[in-house]
Structure 1
């Protein structure tokens, strides 16, 4: 297959930051995707409906005229102090779709994150009542626990408890990175005889489909641009995820790029605070997903993964027929760098300056 036409996709896990970075990165996503779940981990984070309303307005204001139809799907940052009243207000807002659970210390800007899940039972019950989704960064942030094992530890320690204690709560395991995680999600669907839409699903990044841990050490050197959280996992895990996701027939997995732009100064440790975690993949995200599915000869499943599964889970309509993308097996070159003049810095995208095998154009 050398050409594929699909409904315009949705990105169900996206960081667009704020200020000059927001204005610089947003339209790369909006040109390829119709909608995106916007992550709330700004500094300070988006914790209330009023904060989300203002952030949404800034996002809409940053869209170029040709991308004016792009829809940001907002989330609130779950904290130890999130109340049922906050959940109720979020549900009544009409534009907030989910709460994001960051365990304290697990990733970028997680210092406001949750320290005790037991203290949030009332909030979780309210999410059930108002049909709001819980998106989870599923890692245990224990400094004594190897980064390679933090996701599996969260799944085995906390996820079953959440599923059992809150049987109507819809949950997304964000950016799944291990075979154990995708197997858990698949087995949960099978063993619980779910009718209709699944309640436990997973979002998948392009980089966790394409790379394993060794990408961090490419050419015998540490590669900051490939450092993300959750960290890239083993080849066993990468192949396991790729196999499950490209053969998914139940709508359990969908695209969530986790595109996370950081300035070069932050990625190269010029600040002296270590290398920031995050991969900026937005400019060519659809091409990367096509590359991954093509490697398994499963391009026939790509449209469901990109354009249908996530929308169905979130209760959204599928993007209309007049919104389409054409994917062509034609090499395209990724930009070298995205300049941010206002900050006297830049952002490097995934595969910066390299040619990739697929190209995308709107129809």
Structure 2
């Protein structure tokens, strides 16, 4: 196969930041993706409906002329969140989901949840109105090894929340383990999971063997190769509970290449080429449209995009830029570690 046409994809987990960084990275997503769930972990975070509306306005203002892109906004769940404000924001179309960050789990998560009992009224209201909870699924207990935090979160936090709040719609975001794959596959209820481009392509050996590679450092951290293989199997399975969320997360190089570097992989520019590579390796190019373009909209109760994109395979390696220059500084693009032979045709 040398060309592949599919409905225009969406990104169900995206960081755009703000200001000069937003202006620099937004075109990289809008070039290929029609819509994206926008993460609310700004400083200060997007916690009220007015915050989400203002952030959406800034995104729309930053979109270059001639590009079409719809930001799907989220609110940041805190222990002080107002159920009425969340309900109004959802019912008026300002937001599409709410994001749960356990406090301290990842970038700009200090305002997240420590005591989950304090957010039960919000979760119950969300279940009543069908508002989706997007979950960063890691515990932050210092006695839990960083490679085990996702599995422990499922047992200690997520499953009890779902049992206590029947009907709650959940997206497990950027899953990284076979434990998460099994939980999403085997449990009842409205639950789905996003899988990132980079977690399909790298494991912890790529990040650590032969020297530390800071541009592979993300949270949740990449795991063993066996978990990577479980993610690949889920992505190409055709199971509609698994769909694309890149978690593309730009940081300037000086914030990545330092003694205490930021977590995040920026992959917006070459995600579709990387995915075509993975699905071709797995003999499943016919499953790419479902993963990238169909299953996410269905999970969120939206129609798939009408317009299409076409990917082309070349015998020669396709050059992709090493960095994206932004007004905030250079941002290194995800390097899969081998040549890419796919590209999206203009």
Q: Which TM-score applies when normalising by structure 1?
A: 0.92
Task: Give CA-to-partner distance per residue, 1:245-270, whole Å, 9 cap, x none.
Answer: 21133x1011000000001110011x
Q: Residue 244 of structure 1: CA displacement?
A: 2.0
Pairing 1:16–2:7 present: no
User: Structure 1 residues 103 and 52 mapped into 2: Cα distance closer, same or farther (>3 Å)?
Assistant: same
Pairing 1:212–2:212 present: no
Corresponding residue for 1:230?
Answer: 220
Matches within 5 A, 1:75-94: 75-94=74-93
Q: Is the 8 A contact 1:10 1:35 kept in 2?
A: yes
Corresponding residue for 2:28?
Answer: 28
Matches within 5 A, 1:283-302: 283-302=269-288
Q: Distance in 2 between matches of 1:90 and 1:141?
A: 29
Task: Give CA-to-partner distance per residue, 1:90-110, whole Å, 9 cap, x none.
Answer: 223313000000000000000
Corresponding residue for 1:360?
Answer: 344
Q: Distance in 2 between matches of 1:233 and 1:295?
A: 20
Q: Secondary structure at the match of 1:66?
A: coil
Q: Residue 289 of structure 1: CA displacement?
A: 1.4
Matches within 5 A, 1:106-117: 106-117=105-116
Q: Is the 8 A contact 1:328 1:359 kept in 2?
A: yes
Task: Give CA-to-partner distance per residue, 1:202-226, whole Å, 9 cap, x none.
Answer: 00001111111011125x1100000
Where does structure 1 differ by over 6 angstroms across 4 or more consecutive aligned residues? Answer: none
Q: Is the 8 A contact 2:318 2:342 kept in 1?
A: yes
Q: Distance in 2 between matches of 1:358 and 1:352?
A: 13
5+ residue gaps, structure 2, are: none
Q: Residue 89 of structure 1: CA displacement?
A: 2.0
Q: Is the 8 A contact 2:9 2:32 kept in 1?
A: yes
Aligned length: 344
Q: Secondary structure at the match of 1:325?
A: strand
Q: Which TM-score applies when normalising by structure 2?
A: 0.96
Q: Is the 8 A contact 1:334 1:354 kept in 2?
A: no
Q: Is the 8 A contact 2:202 2:336 kept in 1?
A: no
Corresponding residue for 1:54?
Answer: 54
Matches within 5 A, 1:249-268: 249=239, 251-268=240-257
Q: Is the 8 A contact 1:79 1:114 kept in 2?
A: yes
Q: Residue 164 of structure 1: CA displacement?
A: 1.2
Pairing 1:163–2:149 present: no
Matches within 5 A, 1:324-335: 324-330=308-314, 331-335=317-321
Q: Distance in 1 between matches of 2:136 and 2:336?
A: 27
Q: Distance in 2 between matches of 1:312 and 1:238?
A: 25
Corresponding residue for 1:200?
Answer: 191
Q: Is the 8 A contact 2:48 2:86 kept in 1?
A: no
Q: Residue 332 of structure 1: CA displacement?
A: 1.5
Corresponding residue for 1:130?
Answer: 129
Pairing 1:105–2:91 present: no
User: Structure 1 residues 144 and 225 mapped into 2: Cα distance closer, same or farther (>3 Å)?
Assistant: same
Q: Is the 8 A contact 1:261 1:347 kept in 2?
A: yes
Q: Is the 8 A contact 1:139 1:150 kept in 2?
A: yes
